[in-house]
Amino acid sequence: MATLEIRDLHVTVEADNATKEILKGVDLTVKQGETHAIMGPNGSGKSTLAYSLAGHPKYTITSGSVTLDGEDVLEMEVDERARAGVFLAMQYPVEVPGVSVSNFLRTSATAVRGEAPKLRTWVKEVKEAMERLNMDPSFAERNVNEGFSGGEKKRHEILQLELLKPKIAILDETDSGLDVDALRIVSEGINRVREGGEVGTLLVTHYTRILRYIKPDYVHVFAGGRIVESGGAELADQLEAEGYDKYVKGGA
């Protein structure tokens, strides 16, 4: 079973000519087959954690480690991380001019699998995955992220997840900008991928509503750049009822 281990991770960003420490010692272990929800107030550093794992150049790791089965993830190039089985939606460019969804997915699958998928089975695979996500077939011919609505971006993210079958998937605010129907379809997609028991999921979210559809094994409260409390699914219910106030006061 693949294991992602984050140990005492400290990360800074440059903002207004100053170096600001955003992550202040994050410790987290995610194993294949487990679902972890990271929940916390806005500005607590949740996306910074996701971007740091994705290898985004704006984020400087000042100390700590991230390993996948003992291999140093932080030393890996972005495409090596994907090949090692770490999926991060945001590791891909925001907009890829002139590249269709169809070509983009095939290129990604080729990179991750180490060989180009056979064209005929691939076309079928994509078509079926798109049907499951209620996506119009014409979507495959559109350019990646060009004029995508919030909902289309999220569906595209889950489409990649279904096709690339990573060991560890990191999903940041997958629920934002989705209406109830889209949220259900996207959640079902995530659950299908989870059912195989082969993906470890790190679900980063401010709101508890996606957790009505996706039951996490572990919930972590993120505040002030670190995990301040961990528990089971019941912790999400508590957060829904009480909010983040008690974690923010004098803290974040």
Least separation in angstroms between residue 174's CB and Mg ion is: 11
Q: Choose the contact partner of 48 out of Mg ion, ligand ADP, none; CB within 5 to 8 A by kind.
A: ligand ADP
Q: Choose the contact partner of 45 out of ligand ADP, Mg ion, none; CB within 5 to 8 A by kind.
A: ligand ADP
Residues near Mg ion, by CB under 5 A? 42, 46-47
Q: Choose the contact partner of 22 out of ligand ADP, Mg ion, none; CB within 5 to 8 A by kind.
A: ligand ADP
One symbol per residue from 33 to 72: x for binding ligand ADP (CB under 6 A), - otherwise; what is it?
A: -------x-xxxxxxx---------x--------------
Gyration radius of the chain's alpha carbons: 18
Least separation in angstroms between residue 38's CB and ligand ADP is: 9
| 216 touches ligand ADP (CB under 6 A) | no
Least separation in angstroms between residue 105's CB and Mg ion is: 25
Using the structure block, give the residue that is written with the tokens 């900008």.
177
Q: Choose the contact partner of 13 out of Mg ion, ligand ADP, none; CB within 5 to 8 A by kind.
A: ligand ADP
Least separation in angstroms between residue 84's CB and Mg ion is: 24
Interface with ligand ADP by CB under 6 A: which residues?
13, 15, 22, 40, 42-48, 58
